[in-house]
Structure 1
């Protein structure tokens, strides 16, 4: 097991600090990262200490969080900036397109700088889904209904993230905004053809592909293309995303704990295997450390190890490299330094003090 480099699981931890069970799981070479939630947050000092504990277990663990702005923002107090929902940036585009690009870049910089100052490596953002108007789970998380606007604003936000030393994860490929069902709770179907999806929802992925660092596929079934949800489909991940679109970064699954991820009654390990065999580089498993003291995670680790021994999946050095590539490569500013830095203060101004549209006096 010491030769295993792939480390394909990103797991959650139970509380405000690591317990003995958390540390044991994070030492397992199958684990490549940690995903944090609001229950892991009390204050900046506590979050920084938790991240330091995680890195003390293994420096290569990727510390990630869902932190987009709007209603999806895990840390909101003790100095963290309450960032606007992405739809607000799209609405501002209709007033001042260049100003919206600047504001999106500023949001990315503020988001990443604050997270990194507390030890968090990575956020699952931006959302590239189109705002078709009917999805409650996507809703105001989407920039706009126009794929061209989504592409430009997402690229601007990613530039802001990159300036603060953070990679990004575009989601939810090939598009979640058209379906009404919430895949956390139910199976979702999108009956459109491949051509219709590629020309609309998946267009931002095609246009941004050379610069994308990571992509998260949707737990949505597109029956005209494949009977499997996109995140478990070799057709979507290998044939479309890798071969047709030309994406070369990391493919990170959505949460295996969601209803749509295991609609056929699969266990966590069966779903993880299905995703890895389909082409995912890492599988995200959320909110399981708080179930029966984390027993589902222990069972998952044991069964995935057994599957490895049986040859049901093979570690991939390319997948390992893709995960390593998501780790920050530059040191962050400490919080107190960040608060007085010119770049951060200017970015805050751009987020909240909207500039006049170009040409307006």
Structure 2
């Protein structure tokens, strides 16, 4: 269904445009092209791109001047989205909706704020800025990564909190962005042991009962990278693909070619009309790729 790009694929804007053109021409069918380009520590393309700040900087500004922070969040969303779309990339895996805490180093300054209401407000503004230039949003990492210490890239994090605690402390930003119309959600490779026996990315409870039924989300669910250690604890690659495909519309494999071959050989569920529509909604809208909107946002940020 698509390709995710990393810093290892990038030299400069002209090179990445040429690479993407080749990929699209080579593909047997229409594909999605995405990048993890949040800003701060997680900005895959730097040479030739505007440096987007860590989202926590917007949170600090919000504490002093909410109106300015919200406008800046919208403008940074526009700048980030326009620049990747200008290279024919469909979307970025942003915004981060996790609570910012001192003890979660993997999230840290990637999160907007410690207050869930502020997170919701800033993330929605950032998302609306992305939408203003025709790019969709991906809220992550559902139902919240900010209150666990372990890094799911290298081990399986376990959260012992009960559902009532998570519902109050972590879920509100996701609820806010779902109400705002966000097109995709990425679940966390975290085991919420006080709630369910499977990590969120493989969990019927989290992805069907909570996300689909209770929160009313009907958009695309995109797994986090199945090569991560937080997923590896639950089977070999074929088993992980089967677990993720049960609830996810799109599956990420980011690092090992042999695992990608295994995934391609798996008997994935047939994409029905609803799933196809969810995937189609991730495509960027070229009609809204407006340089004037981008330039106005950039001027406000640089003033």
TM-score (norm 2): 0.95
Task: Select which of 128, 132, 147 maps to 2:116.
Answer: 147
Q: What CA distance in whole angstroms lies between the structure 1 residues aligned with 2:113 and 2:2?
A: 31
Displacement of 1:321 in angstroms is 1.2
| SS across alignment from 1:145 | coil
- 2:3–2:32: 8 Å Cα contact kept in structure 1? yes
Task: Select which of 269, 282, 286 maps to 2:254.
Answer: 286
| SS across alignment from 2:3 | strand
- In our comparison, the structure showing a higher alpha carbon Rg is 1
Q: What CA distance in whole angstroms lies between the structure 2 residues aligned with 1:352 and 1:185?
A: 38
* Residue of structure 2 in register with 1:291 after alignment: none
| SS across alignment from 2:18 | helix
* Residue of structure 1 in register with 2:200 after alignment: 230
* Residue of structure 1 in register with 2:281 after alignment: 325
- 2:123–2:177: 8 Å Cα contact kept in structure 1? no
Displacement of 1:314 in angstroms is 4.2
- 2:112–2:122: 8 Å Cα contact kept in structure 1? yes
Q: What CA distance in whole angstroms lies between the structure 1 residues aligned with 2:130 and 2:120?
A: 15
- 1:127–1:171: 8 Å Cα contact kept in structure 2? yes
Task: Select which of 247, 250, 272 maps to 1:316.
Answer: 272
Work out whether 1:349 is the aligned partner of 2:299.
Answer: yes
Q: Deviations over 1:114-142 (max 9, x none)?
A: 11111111100000000122101000000
- 1:167–1:328: 8 Å Cα contact kept in structure 2? yes
Q: What CA distance in whole angstroms lies between the structure 2 residues aligned with 1:315 and 1:345?
A: 39
* Residue of structure 2 in register with 1:116 after alignment: 85
Q: What CA distance in whole angstroms lies between the structure 1 residues aligned with 2:79 and 2:133?
A: 8
Q: Deviations over 1:31-89 (max 9, x none)?
A: x1110000110111110011111221256211000000001000000x20011100000
* Residue of structure 2 in register with 1:297 after alignment: 260
Q: Which runs of 5+ in 1 are unaligned?
A: 1-31, 289-293, 354-361
Choose between structure 1 and 2 for higher RCO, CA contacts under 8 A separated by at least 6 residues.
1
Compared with structure 1, are the counterparts of its residues 120 and 226 closer, same or farther at alpha carbon in structure 2 (3 Å cutoff)? same
- 1:116–1:332: 8 Å Cα contact kept in structure 2? no
* Residue of structure 2 in register with 1:214 after alignment: 184
Q: Deviations over 1:181-237 (max 9, x none)?
A: 000001101111111111121111122223121000000011111011000000000
- Runs of 4+ in structure 1 deviating by more than 2 angstroms, as ranges, are 313-317, 329-333, 341-346, 349-353
Give RMSD over aligned pairs: 1.5
- 1:231–1:253: 8 Å Cα contact kept in structure 2? yes
Q: What CA distance in whole angstroms lies between the structure 2 residues aligned with 1:280 and 1:208?
A: 19
Q: Deviations over 1:254-296 (max 9, x none)?
A: 00010001113x222210110112x1111111012xxxxx333
- State the number of aligned residues: 301
Paired residues for 1:189-268 under 5 Å: 189-210=158-179, 211-264=181-234, 266-268=235-237
| SS across alignment from 1:270 | helix
